[in-house]
Structure 1
Amino acid sequence: MPAPPPSLLNLGADGLCDWLTECGEKPFRAKQIRNGIFSGRVESPREIATLPAPLRERIAAELPLFSGEPVRHQVARDRTEKLLLRFADPSGKSEGHHVECVLMRETGRRTVCISTQVGCAMGCVFCASGIGGVQRDLTRGEILEQVLRLDRLLPPADQPGGRITNVVVMGIGEPLANLRNLTGVLEELTATDGLGLSPRRITVSTVGLPAQMRKFAELGKPYNLAVSLHAPNDELRSEIVPINRSTGLQAVLEAADSYFGATGRRVTYEYVLMAGVNDQPEHASELGRLLAGRRAHVNLIPMNDVAELDFSAPGEPATDAFFRTLNAAGVPTTVRKRKGADIDAACGQLRRVAEREPVPLTV
């Protein structure tokens, strides 16, 4: 597949130094450039005032900062913001590929949720992201661009609420299927001359790819791992998460246990509740037995309605009963608060709308 257009964000610190050397420039220019990107929140290399004008122009011409185009920008009543970005189709067969990213504001926290692929190959039956399958992996620069564009929606960094505090890699795509590019992004998010986040403030979600989970653990960083479980047994999980047919629940749990052993980070198990499918009392009891004794936390997620899918969330009484059963089994459990419900903030929804009904950017 042809490579996407070049981007400054694809290089990383070492790659940027190498490029500058090839251009006959001093390596210290890399620090000035990275300061402009991560602290100065420039929109273009032309805005990095510490650089000589000719170098600014050369970078802008050869290595643009952003390669994506904002297609939609929506703001919810709860101040959640969602961006739909269009990146080039390297094959040239379409006008571009759409991905989503979200900024969520809470007291003391500004969390961004980012995507790692165009579409998804995992086929989870409740998820809008996988409708139509996967087109390609996002590049390192395309993933990082989502974070930086959302960062630029915040107030100045020296003002209250002016900094991203948390990153969750839970948008469109299976992050661990694109681990090579994601690893470089995580390095930039935690670098002292990057975004400067603690690994403990970054959560990576996976449908449960055991081999990739073990590779992720080998990075040796205490990132948070969230496993999309959605069922307490293989038979039901294979119906909801088709990839389970080739992995099996036990292998997923063993890899998660290994991740905890390697990093010391408690694993979160995400469980999307679907009325009449996986929300019954026997499911809650079985899940409690499965996770009891493990260093685990369950995040219950009442399903977001998706027009193309014939599933719905259970009512609050059923959700509360499921929650109480798990807690009684000694499994720490929370129910995820829904954010941005009025702007299609669940991953994949805005992308589907835009591809059915393309419209200009709105704010």
Structure 2
Amino acid sequence: MVSTTNDSLEGALTTQSTHRPLLGMTQAELTDWVQTQGQPTYRGKQLHQWIYGKGARSLADITVFPKTWRQTMEQVSVGRSEIHHRSIAPDQTVKFLLRLDDGHIIEAVGIPTEKRLTVCVSSQVGCPMACDFCATGKGGFIRNLATHEIVDQVLTVQEDFAQRVSNIVFMGMGEPLINAHNVVQAVKCLNQDIGIGQRSITISTVGIPGQIRRLAQHNLQVTLAVSLHASNQPLRTQLIPSAQQYPLKDLLDECREYVAITGRRVTFEYVLLAGLNDCEDHAVELSQLLRGFQSHVNLIPYNPIDEVDYQRPSRQRVNQFTDSLKAAGVAVTVRYSRGLEKDAACGQLRASKVGD
């Protein structure tokens, strides 16, 4: 089992590179960089506009730059990925398999509605948490994503849809708080350089000891979504192996600290599995756990994967669970995931063409 109790894991898994790609840099950093290349200061603003506003994939694309300088800078990486595969579900959700510079494949999902375009982004190649009902965890873990690899997913979806991205959810491949440094840097870049409001960004986590508290110290205005999926410790450990290291009481105490520090409520994600965690007793237990908590519960009827034989509960069972929480004063919403037919729904992401 992967140890996630301190910063050593995050440091050990962070991608190192001899050359930092330009994507992910602020305008000030880009200005400093062009000056080191012997270019005037104003080139930094131009570079920033072309990378974030026009989606430049190489310096050769930036026609306002002198041709001779562009030719000498051909090996400089902007940090964009390639679309390896693209599939569209009947509800117009689009799943993207993106090939990174080292050949690894990750997934990003574009979820359009009438008024918004949401991107579900990955934070790691694979995932070490091994949640029993999640396809990503079944494929194992390879590495953290760098800041530019996270930001690139948003730009790719935005360009493909020819529509401005309005919302971002860190609910793709990986556990964001194991890669907290790069995720926080990506949030700042998406906010300051691309112009997406922090309140329109959600960071989802299974819960890593101490990391929710550390996230609170960054004073971000993002939404924190905690993947709970069970109303008691034994059941949660059965579904989420890493929960053995992090008792439910300690997780909830840290979530309360997050609310106290940030003033932002916590969203709890709860995947409903037929006959396992969707009974009346579980709803009662869950409501007791969250009593007096500034929170909201998202109920997610299970999205099937090939590796396990869990079942999605009936709509009647979902409604009964929902009504029980409401009766106990718990704020709750049922979220039926988009992109189910193309394995692009919550819990189905994997770096393959399965389902396409």
Normalized against structure 2, the TM-score is what? 0.90
Please give the secondary structure, in 2, of the residue aligned with 1:61. coil
Cα deviation, residue 14, structure 1: 4.2
Is it true that 1:300 corresponds to 2:299 in the alignment? yes
Give 1:263-342 correspondences, 5 Å limit.
Answer: 263-342=262-341
Residue 121 of structure 2 contacts residue 150 of structure 2 at CA under 8 Å; is this kept in 1? yes
Please give the secondary structure, in 1, of the residue aligned with 2:117. strand
Structure 1: unaligned runs, 5 residues or longer: 90-95, 156-161
Cα deviation, residue 282, structure 1: 0.4
Which one-letter code corresponds to 1:330 in the other structure? G
Cα deviation, residue 187, structure 1: 1.0
Whole-angstrom distance in 2 between the partners of 1:109 and 1:270 = 22
Give 1:1-363 correspondences, 5 Å limit.
Answer: 3=16, 6-66=20-80, 68-89=81-102, 96-155=103-162, 162-191=163-192, 194-346=193-345, 349=348, 351=350, 353-354=352-353
Please give the secondary structure, in 2, of the residue aligned with 1:9. coil
Whole-angstrom distance in 2 between the partners of 1:3 and 1:326 = 46
Whole-angstrom distance in 2 between the partners of 1:27 and 1:346 = 45
**Range with bigger deviation, 215-224 or 338-347:** 338-347
Which one-letter code corresponds to 1:87 in the other structure? L
Whole-angstrom distance in 1 between the partners of 2:137 and 2:111 = 23
- Size of the aligned set, in residue pairs, is 342
Whole-angstrom distance in 2 between the partners of 1:154 and 1:50 = 26
Whole-angstrom distance in 1 between the partners of 2:327 and 2:212 = 29
Which one-letter code corresponds to 2:190 in the other structure? L
Cα deviation, residue 244, structure 1: 1.2
- CA distance 1:271–1:121, shift in 2 (3 Å): same
Whole-angstrom distance in 2 between the partners of 1:329 and 1:64 = 52
RMSD between superposed Cα atoms in Å: 2.0
Which one-letter code corresponds to 1:175 in the other structure? P
Q: Which residue of 2 aligns with 1:159?
A: none
CA-to-aligned-CA distance 1:280-339 (integer Å, 9 cap, x gap): 110011101111211110000011100112212111111111111111111110011321
Whole-angstrom distance in 2 between the partners of 1:122 and 1:200 = 26
Q: Which residue of 1 aligns with 2:9?
A: none
- CA distance 1:54–1:214, shift in 2 (3 Å): farther
Whole-angstrom distance in 2 between the partners of 1:252 and 1:298 = 16
Structure 2: unaligned runs, 5 residues or longer: 1-12
CA-to-aligned-CA distance 1:211-249 (integer Å, 9 cap, x gap): 111111111121110000001111111111111111111
Which one-letter code corresponds to 2:216 in the other structure? A
Please give the secondary structure, in 1, of the residue aligned with 2:350. helix
Which one-letter code corresponds to 1:220 in the other structure? N
Please give the secondary structure, in 2, of the residue aligned with 1:214. helix
Residue 302 of structure 2 contacts residue 311 of structure 2 at CA under 8 Å; is this kept in 1? yes
Identical positions, percent:
40
Cα deviation, residue 21, structure 1: 2.1
Normalized against structure 1, the TM-score is what? 0.89
Whole-angstrom distance in 2 between the partners of 1:32 and 1:24 = 15
Which one-letter code corresponds to 2:164 in the other structure? R
Whole-angstrom distance in 2 between the partners of 1:327 and 1:81 = 33
**Range with bigger deviation, 41-50 or 284-293:** 41-50
- CA distance 1:58–1:15, shift in 2 (3 Å): farther
Residue 24 of structure 2 contacts residue 189 of structure 2 at CA under 8 Å; is this kept in 1? no
